[in-house]
Amino acid sequence: MPAIETVRSKDGTPIAYERRGHGPPLVMVHGSTVDHTRWGGVVSKLAEHFTLLMVDRRGRGESGDGPVYDIEREFEDVVAVLESTEVPAFLLAHSYGAICSLGASRLTARIAKMVLYEPPLALPGQGLSLAADLVARMDRLLAAEDRDGVVAAFMRELIGLSDHEIENMRRTSSWAVRLAAAHTIPREVAVANTYRFRAESLSHVRVPTLFLVGSRSPAHFHEASAMASRALAGSQVETLRGQGHAAMSTGPRIFLEKALPFLEANS
């Protein structure tokens, strides 16, 4: 059975994570529509090198939630897990979880290194490329208890999957996880579209950081990662050839070939 542990975030919300493996701590923060099980393709190899703390972000899995959503609370959630370890931890985060991890890096000195995969940051003067009524439509679908419709809309309109690809996803075990997290999707889409990244907020952060981007990912992800990298002294961007936004599943070997040497190298 997985070892599930819990810490209390600053606002008192319980934040759960699965502990696995041996070695220095590696906190793992997943993206939207999923929970801590998102990392399946790379977990076994990473667990040979690190003690993994695979977080359930608030609102899903074994974690609690707050009465009102604010992304700043998610920054504090990541900090709470980081500060529960005996030594500074490595941090690996994907998509929206990478935004949460960037925010956490402002608030703690307990990060040894970060690997951040395609944070979907809005570019200056722009929001994300999505229909103006998408969040409202998702909210209506939730009110009608149509969780499948919420997840499908996210995959179609933000990730760019075809109906055929979505239908194939429905046949996978991860679809049930996404349905369980459907109530968190509209709020995260709304925040990702309006949250404004401020480079100056990271001017004091001195954490070696690797940004990963897929060569097949939309240009927006490349531009957002480059923008964040410029704000972090000494950070770098590496491309995962032939991959898109989910190389943990579609290309775990190339993902590990980039992430592991960076994490294990002497700073």
Same-domain check for residues 205 and 247 = yes
Dihedral, CA atoms, 66, 69, 70, 76, nearest 10 degrees? 30
Same-domain check for residues 203 and 147 = no
Q: How many distinct structural domains can be found in the chain?
A: 2
Residue 180's domain comprises 134-187
Same-domain check for residues 53 and 92 = yes
Residue-wise pLDDT for 54-107, tens only, equals 999 999 999 999 999 999 999 999 999 999 999 999 999 999 999 999 999 999
Same-domain check for residues 161 and 208 = no
Same-domain check for residues 148 and 202 = no
Contact predicate 71/100, CB 8 Å: yes
Predicted pLDDT at 128:
63
Domain annotation covers residue 192: no
pLDDT band (50, 70, 90) for residue 158: confident
Domain annotation covers residue 23: yes
pLDDT band (50, 70, 90) for residue 264: very high
Same-domain check for residues 54 and 161 = no
Same-domain check for residues 41 and 79 = yes
Query: Which of these ranges, 124-128, 192-196, 238-242, has the smallest mean pLDDT?
Result: 124-128
Domain annotation covers residue 128: no
Rounded to a whole number of angstroms, the CA Rg of the chain reads: 17
Would you say residue 33 has pLDDT above 70? yes
Instruction: Give the integer Cα–Cα distance in Å for 91 and 98.
Output: 9
pLDDT band (50, 70, 90) for residue 42: very high
Same-domain check for residues 65 and 172 = no
* For residues 253-262, average pLDDT: 98
How many angstroms separate the Cα of 157 from the Cα of each of 44, 76, 95, 121?
Answer: 32, 29, 16, 17
* For residues 45-53, average pLDDT: 97
Residue-wise pLDDT for 130-143, tens only, equals 677 899 999 999 99
* For residues 184-208, average pLDDT: 93
Among 143, 164, 187, where does a domain finish?
187
Same-domain check for residues 92 and 171 = no
- Rounded to the nearest integer, the mean pLDDT of the chain is 94
For the chain, the maximum distance between any two Cα atoms, rounded to a whole number of angstroms, is 53
Same-domain check for residues 22 and 70 = yes
Domain annotation covers residue 127: no
